[in-house]
Amino acid sequence: MTPDNFTTIRDLLRHAVSRFNGAKLFFGHGSVNAFDEAAYLILHTLNLPLDKLEPFYDARLLPEEVRSVLNVIERRVGERVPAAYLTNEAWLGDYRFYVDERVIVPRSFIAELIPEQFSPWVEDADSVENILELCTGSGCLPIMMADAFPAAHIDAVDISPDALAVARRNVDEYQLQDRISLFESDLYDKLTKKKYDLIITNPPYVNAGSMSKLPPEYLREPQIALAGGDDGMDLVRRIVAGAAERLTKKGILMVEIGNERAFAEAAFPDLELTWVSTSAGDDTVFLLHADQLAGSAKTTKSTKTR
């Protein structure tokens, strides 16, 4: 196809949807179907409002505009590049974040819980002073939490310096340098013994069997941010084990584990995990209270000394 075959956005949209469906693309990075993704990519490429497709359907395009859109469509199909990497942006709710291949495309069910300030588990949002977010990636969750918890300072951690460079860009764009501190660390390793009211994490949790079946779009993302070991719980075990000494007495640990509920419950048979409802159901996010973790730590220590 050449630019001469297209004159309007309607033409390009029809072509893109056909190409996307024919190529059997995977949609899991912001869009859920070929039409929505095609509309987003076209509007973004043409610098048009993302929520106003209808007025521009039959707008006649310049040849260079058609070429730009066709190039994006072909990259999406031919290279299976996630849309967010093509546009260098991703959205969580009303928040826009810069992204590129150094981080996974932001997607988190924890993000749904932030506007409600994790109610009812957090009774007084204004009393939350310190939050720790592990495996921060692009820094999206700390930025959202900074708005939801106005009295809190947030420490955000990632092992990847590349991811932290992206997080720094997003923190700077939201002008939250005084509210969010970024740390390069393997989970808790390089942190002080500071206590936190909340520890939040969306860590790598994909089990080995699922990793081998990921669609090509997911293989374009940093695998270190996805792979969680044989059962997906390698990092989750370390996060849970280290949380007790990091939480305040009434602190909460919240962990996103995707579709790995069975593996999570098997990994922590002595802990009663509280499953939090999200749009995905009751299987993707669990929380633990500080007293549960403290009790588990004492039991483990006692068992080891026998």
* ∠ CA 224-194-298, rounded to 5°: 85
| 259-291 per-position pLDDT tens digit | 899 999 999 999 999 999 999 889 999 999 999
pLDDT score at 303: 43
Cross-strand bridge partners of residue 253: 199, 288
- Residue 76 in contact with residue 25, Cβ under 8 Å? yes
What's the burial of 78, exposed, middle or buried (CB within 10 Å: 0-12/13-18/19+)? exposed
Q: Does pLDDT of 296 surpass 90?
A: no
Residue 302 banded pLDDT, cuts 50, 70, 90: very low
Residue 298 banded pLDDT, cuts 50, 70, 90: low
Taking the model in full, what pTM does it have? 0.92
Query: Which helix (H) or strand (E) is 248 found in, with range?
Result: strand 247-256
Calculate helix-pair angle for 9-22, 63-78, nearest 10 degrees. 10
Residue 53 banded pLDDT, cuts 50, 70, 90: very high
**Mean pLDDT throughout 223-228?**
94
Residue 2 per-residue DSSP state = -
Average pLDDT, the chain: 94
pLDDT score at 104: 96
Buried b or exposed e, range 210-248, using 16+ CB within 10 angstroms: bbeebeebbebbbeebbbbbebbbbbbebbbebbbebbe
* ∠ CA 135-141-145, rounded to 5°: 130
Can you tell me the distance from the alpha carbon of 271 to that of 281, in angstroms, rounded to the nearest whole number? Answer: 21
pLDDT score at 30: 84
| 70-92 per-position pLDDT tens digit | 999 999 999 999 999 999 999 99
pLDDT score at 164: 98
Can you tell me the distance from the alpha carbon of 182 to that of 172, in angstroms, rounded to the nearest whole number? Answer: 11
Percent over 70 (pLDDT), the chain: 95
- Nearest CA-CA partner of 202 in 147, 280, 270, 128: 280
**Mean pLDDT throughout 116-135?**
96
Residue located via tokens 């549960």: 292
pLDDT score at 279: 92
Residue 305 banded pLDDT, cuts 50, 70, 90: very low
**Mean pLDDT throughout 294-302?**
60
Domains of the chain, start order: 3-87 (1.10.8), 101-305 (3.40.50.150)
> Could you tell me the CA-to-CA distances from 250 to 79, 255, 273, 291 in Å, in that order?
48, 17, 16, 7
